[in-house]
Amino acid sequence: MTLIVLLLGLAVGVLVGLLGIGGGVVLVPAMVYLLHMDQHMAQGTSLLILLPPVGIGALREYWKQGQVDVRAGILCALGMLVGGYAGGLIAVPLSSRHLKGLFGCFLILAAFLLWRRPEPKSPLADSVAEESSRG
C-alpha cells in the first residue's frame, strides 16, 4: 500500500506540473478506487496532501519564466480560503453518494467546457484581418 500511495503522489505531481491542474482532480478518484476510501475521506485526505506542496515545484519553474501574476494569485488564494471553508461546511453533511455524484458532475462539466472551448485567436490574426478589411 505504501508503494501505491508514493507512486500516486509522483504521478499526480507530474500532472500538476505538466497540466497546471489541481491534484485533487486526480487524487480523489484514485483514492476512492485504488485505496477504497469513502468520498469524504478521499476529499479530506486530498486537502491534507495538497496543503504543503500545492504546486511549489511547478510554481518555481513558472516563476523563473516570469509566468506568474502575483496580485491575481494572492487575491484568488484569499477567495479560495473563504470558499474552501464554505465548501467544507456544505460538503461534510452530504452523503458520500451525493458528494461523489457532485464531484463526477463537476469533472464532466470541466471536460465538456475544455472540449468545446474555441481556439483563441492570435493578436497577429486580428491585425491581419483589420488590415485586409481596410483595403
Q: What pTM was computed for the model? A: 0.64
Does residue 94 register a pLDDT over 90?
A: yes
The 10s digit of each residue's pLDDT in 18-51 is 777 778 888 899 999 899 999 999 998 888 888 7
DSSP class of residue 120?
A: P
79/131: higher pLDDT: 79
Residue 16 pLDDT class (50, 70, 90 cuts): confident
